[in-house]
Structure 1
Amino acid sequence: MRPEQHAKMAAEMKQRLKVEELEENIDELEDVVEDVFPILILTVFVAVLLLIIFLIRLYLRWFAPNPSKNRMDGKTVLITGGTSGIGKCTAIELAKRNARVLIAGREKAKVEAVARNIRKKTGNQHVNALVLDLGNLRSIQEFAEDFRKDEKYLHVLINNAAYMGPLSKTDDGLERSFGVNYLGHFYLTYLLSDKLKKNAPSRIINVVSDSYKQGELDLDDLAMNKGYSVYSAYTRSKLAQVMFNLECHKRYIGNCVWSFAAHPGPTATDLLRNYPGMWGNALRLVSRIMFKPPEDGCQTLVYLAVADGLREFSGKLFTDCKAVKTNEKVKANKELSSRLWNVSAHLCGFEGDALMPEDEPEATPNAEEAGEATAEEEKKSQ
């Protein structure tokens, strides 16, 4: 065999070996891909899921910082549900602005401990604890009587306390979400309205939720005998609060008492602590991970308590320190809103359209005097 032929055969053999080796490598690669592909798909899925969760969390936790730097020297603020969550953080923020802050809660020891903690944290010694059970109309009446007797001033009333949980009754036999979230605040506001008028310009801030859009209000079934669910009871109470806010505006704006509804947005608070079952556990976990902290959630409340130039926005709903449109079904239900006021008055034991009798010597300012007071207040704050 010639040397040329031998070299040619050797080259052909090498080529065949390379091809066979390449085919083996390809087979091995295919086996590896088959083994790794499910893990690869799972990794991509998890990465996309985490990205979606991150973006949703970013959206839910977004908040608008309070643009107003106003202080509250000489102003008295009453906050219900001020022992935790948004109420407590609002109390801290207003105490930092030198307001006289009154925190109302059911448990005396707990409220006093929180007030003591806020005094120490802010250096403001004018933070006091008051005992109030919004699930007991008699307690509210006694609280208001003592308040009118002991307290000379009230400039801002923040209706913040809330219940969300399984079917339960107030001491007066009312469904608890409706009784605490709405009716208790309705009665408290009515009983303290004379104090707010005498310290005009003053403000009422009702803490609501945009879940009111899903709420349905049947005044013939306040006990929810037709069917109870935690969420439907809560949304109903928030719808009632939004309607109450509009009624407060209509009835008190002439006395220079402004009323605002504040939606804090998704906030990690103790509201879900009573939500039952596995769903409740899941919601509590999600709220801790996804929702914004109370320090951010309270900013709209603080803004409505301190900001200038809000008179024209009385009756409006605010979120992220800006007025937003109220759902059309609320505006279209003016008759239901008025009926709700009268039914609530009946449940609390007074006539719906009767005015609160003055029990102090100062006269309630009329609209013209209230306007002058507003101008004076804004002039001073500038």
Structure 2
Amino acid sequence: MSFTHTVLITGGTTGLGFQCALAIAREHPEFLIVITARTDSNSAAATINKTLRQKNVVFLPIDLSNLTTVRSFVTDWETKKYPSICTLVLNAGLQFPEGLRKTVDGIEATFGINHVGNTLLFYLLLPHLVNNVRVVVTSSGTHDPAQKSGLPDAKYTTAEELAYPAPEAAQIDGRQRYTTSKLCNVLWAYALHRRFKSVEGRSMTVNAFDPGLMPGTGLAREYSAPMRWIWTSLMPRIIPLMRALFHPNVHTPRESGESLAWLAASPDIEGASGEYYEGRKKVKSSVDSYNERYQEDLWEWTIKFTAKSPEEISRFEKAC
């Protein structure tokens, strides 16, 4: 079967990304759905195809913590001659609650994976995006101190400091690095939207998405054994109670995945851009996320760090 367009979802083999891929594949059998992650140990692509009795989902490996492999992924992509990408869901993310970890490129790992790796993938795929591409970045309500999520407040200083934290930063709760990386997701999405909006003749849409709290996903895989058990075995069973006592924005991965699929592919929001969605509801993001000085600092640092030549810097800066 020949496909009309491609939908690419990072972190698409488990949890939120898997459910998003399943929903889009069901609604759009005419699209090729490419899901990426470091591995597909649960045969996610085959499972979706078998469930839907279709053959429009494929898995491609990528390690967003290693920028060399991100580049190799795109080089390989170009040989496959897939249809142009109509939807890019930058969803992959990790959390390291204890200690300070670094990527092979020498930057702090939470920031490196959740922001830098996803962003470089976007820049490199620019030639393969359709004119009216839809880009969705998975953030989190934890980026907003006003949400009182129970996690440490996000704190943006400069991208340079987030990438290369001082030695004493090893004592900081790693969950703050996570919430700050989720703030970076929103900052970058808004910066990208402003650039798309200023280019005549383009109708691209860029939005950030908060899936809410989703007990049972792989986000807690770096937690201690007792905390992993609570997250994967106990909390998924008491979601209705958590909604009543904690916050209404608590969902199963399927519920949030279907909302992400709606934001990524539904004609209902055609043309809506530069927004932040809590599920299917457009809401305000944090005060800091609208700080254009932060947006520009992050945008400029990311391009200088990821680009390998003046030509790439110029191409990435245009982002169109």
Structure 2 length-normalised TM: 0.81
Please tell me whether the aligned partners of residues 188 and 299 of structure 2 are also in contact (alpha carbons under 8 angstroms).
Answer: yes
Q: Deviations over 1:296-317 (max 9, x none)?
A: 1112211112222534420100
> Contact 2:303/2:317 (CA < 8 Å) preserved in 1?
no
What are the residue-to-residue correspondences of 1:34-73 with 2, within 5 Å? none
Structure 2, unaligned runs of 5 or more: 145-152, 240-250
Contact 1:273 1:284 in 2 (8 A): no
Residue 307 of structure 2 contacts residue 313 of structure 2 at CA under 8 Å; is this kept in 1? Answer: no
Rounded Cα–Cα distance in structure 1 between residues aligned with 2:281 and 2:67? 34
Q: Hey, what does 2:256 align to over in structure 1?
A: 297
Aligned residues with identical type, % of pairs: 26
**Structure 2 vs 1, CA of residues 284 and 123 (structure 1 numbering), >3 Å: closer, same or farther?**
closer
Note the alpha carbon deviations across 1:347-367, whole angstroms, 9 max, x for none: 213569622599xxxxx99xx
8 Å CA contact 2:204–2:271 kept in 1: the answer is no
Q: Distance in 1 between matches of 2:186 and 2:52?
A: 32
**1:290 Cα deviation after fit:** 3.6
1:168 to 1:284, Cα distance in 2 relative to 1, 3 A: farther
Map 1:193-342 onto structure 2 (within 5 A). 193-196=126-129, 199-213=130-144, 214-219=153-158, 220-222=160-162, 223-225=164-166, 226-227=168-169, 228-253=172-197, 254=199, 255-268=202-215, 269-276=217-224, 281-284=229-232, 287-291=235-239, 292-331=251-290, 333-342=291-300
Q: Is the 8 A contact 1:206 1:245 kept in 2?
A: yes
Which residue in the other structure is 1:169 paired with?
Answer: 102
CA shift, 1:295, in A, is: 0.7
Q: CA deviation at 1:194?
A: 2.4
- 1:206–1:241: 8 Å Cα contact kept in structure 2? yes
Contact persistence 1:105–1:130 (CA under 8 A): yes
Task: State the aligned residue count.
Answer: 283
Determine if contact 1:300/1:319 at 8 Å carries over to the other structure: no
Residue of structure 2 in register with 1:102 after alignment: 34
Change (3 A) 1:357 1:275: closer
1:110: Cα distance to partner?
Answer: 2.3
Letter in 1 for 2:283: V
Query: Are the counterparts in 1 of residues 6 and 83 from structure 2 also a CA contact under 8 Å?
Result: no
Encode CA deviations 1:12-53: one digit per residue, 9 max, x unaligned.
Answer: xxxxxxxxxxxxxxxxxxxxxxxxxxxxxxxxxxxxxxxxxx
CA contact under 8 A between 1:182 and 1:241: conserved in structure 2?
yes
Q: Give the number of the structure whose residues are more often helix, by fraction.
A: 1
Structure 1 residue 277: deviation in Å? 6.7
Q: Which runs of 4+ in 1 moved over 4 A?
A: 277-286, 350-353
Where do 5+ consecutive residues of structure 1 fail to align?
Answer: 1-72, 359-363, 366-382
From the two aligned structures, give the one with the greater strand fraction.
Answer: 2
Query: C-alpha distance in 2, partners of 1:289/1:77?
Result: 32
TM-score normalized by the length of structure 1: 0.68
Q: Distance in 1 between matches of 2:177 and 2:102?
A: 12
| Alpha-carbon contact 2:9-2:88 (below 8 Å) kept | yes
Describe how 1:75-94 pairs up with structure 2 within 5 A: 75-94=5-24
Q: Distance in 2 between matches of 1:340 and 1:216?
A: 13
CA–CA separation in structure 1 for the residues paired with 2:230 and 2:268: 42
Q: CA deviation at 1:182?
A: 0.7
Task: Please tell me whether Structure 1 or Structure 2 has the larger radius of gyration of its CA atoms.
Answer: 1
User: CA RMSD of the aligned region, Å?
Assistant: 2.4
| Residue 285 to residue 115, structure 1, CA distance change in 2 (3 Å) | closer
How far apart in 1 are the matches of 2:113 and 2:232? 21
Q: C-alpha displacement at 1:230, in angstroms? A: 1.9
**CA offsets 1:193-227 (integer angstroms, 9 cap, x no match):** 2221xx12111110110111131122242233342
